[in-house]
A and B are shown apart, each in its own frame.
Chain A
Amino acid sequence: MVFLIIVAVITPWFMPDAFTYILGLTCLFMILTVSWDLMVGYTGQVNLGHTVFVGIGAYTTALLQVPSRFQGTFLSPLAGMPEISIFATIFLGGIAAGIVGFIIGVITLRLRGWYFALVTAVLPLVFIETTVIWREIFGGEEGFSVGLEKALAPASTGKYYIALIIMLISVAIMFTIVNSRIGLKFKAIRDDLDLAEAVGIDTVKYKVLAFVISSFFAGIAGAAIVHYRVTVSPDLYDVPLMLLIILATVIGGLGTIFGPLIGGLIIYLTKYWWLKGAMATIAATGLPINDDIILYAILVVIAILAPEGLWIKAKKLAKR
Chain B
Amino acid sequence: MIELLIRILIYGATVSGIWALVASGFTLIFGVSRILNFAHGAFFILGAYFGLALIHSVGLDPYLSTIVGMIMVGLLAVAAYRGMMAPIREHEVMIIIVTLALALILEQFILLTFGEHGVSFPSMIRGVVCIGGVPIPSIRLFTLVVAVVALILLGVFINRTRLGKEITAASQDAEAAMLVGLNIGKLFMITMFVSAILAALGGSLFAQIYAANPFLTLKALVFAFAIVILGGLGSVRGSVIAAFIVGYTLTIVISLYGARWSEFVAMIIIIAILIFRPTGLFGVKE
Contacts and interface: CB of A to CB of B under 8 A. Distances in A.
A118 B229 contact: yes
A239 B104 contact: yes
Contact of A118 (B36, B112, B286): B36
Given A239-B218, A304-B84, A108 B274 contact: yes
B221 A121 contact: yes
Given A108-B274, A118-B229, A288-B113, A303 B97 contact: yes
Q: Identify the interface centre among A44, A113, A122, A254: most chain B CB within 10 Å of its CB.
A: A122
Given A239-B104, A300-B102, A303-B98, A115 B88 contact: no
Contact of B101 (A114, A290, A299): A299
Nearest to A246: B97
Interface string A37-69: 000100010101000000000000000000000
Contacts of B264: 126, 129
A303 B94 contact: yes
A250 B261 CA distance: 34
Interface in B217-275: 218-219, 221-222, 225-226, 229, 233, 260-261, 263-264, 266-267, 270-271, 274-275
B105 A118 contact: no
Q: Identify the interface centre among B84, B97, B266, B274: most chain A CB within 10 Å of its CB.
A: B97
A293 B229 contact: no
Contacts of A290: 108, 112
Interface residues of A, number: 41
A163 B116 CA distance: 35
Contacts of A46: 92-93, 96-97
A114 B233 contact: yes
A293 B109 contact: yes
A180 B208 CA distance: 57
B59 to A, nearest CB: 22
A125 interface: yes
Given A239-B218, A307-B94, A300 B108 contact: no
Interface string B128-168: 00000000000000000000000000000000000000000
A250 B96 CA distance: 13
Nearest to B229: A118
B279 to A, nearest CB: 9
Interface in A83-129: 107-108, 111-115, 117-119, 121-123, 125-126, 129
A319 to B, nearest CB: 20
Interface of A: 40, 44, 46, 48, 107-108, 111-115, 117-119, 121-123, 125-126, 129, 132-133, 239-240, 243, 246, 250, 254, 288-290, 292-293, 296-297, 299-300, 303-304, 307-308
Interface of B: 36, 38, 83-84, 87-88, 90-94, 96-98, 100-102, 104-105, 108-109, 112-113, 218-219, 221-222, 225-226, 229, 233, 260-261, 263-264, 266-267, 270-271, 274-275, 278, 286
21 contacts: A40-B93, A44-B93, A46-B97, A113-B286, A117-B36, A118-B270, A123-B267, A125-B263, A129-B264, A132-B260, A133-B260, A243-B100, A254-B93, A288-B112, A289-B112, A292-B104, A296-B105, A299-B97, A300-B102, A300-B105, A308-B91
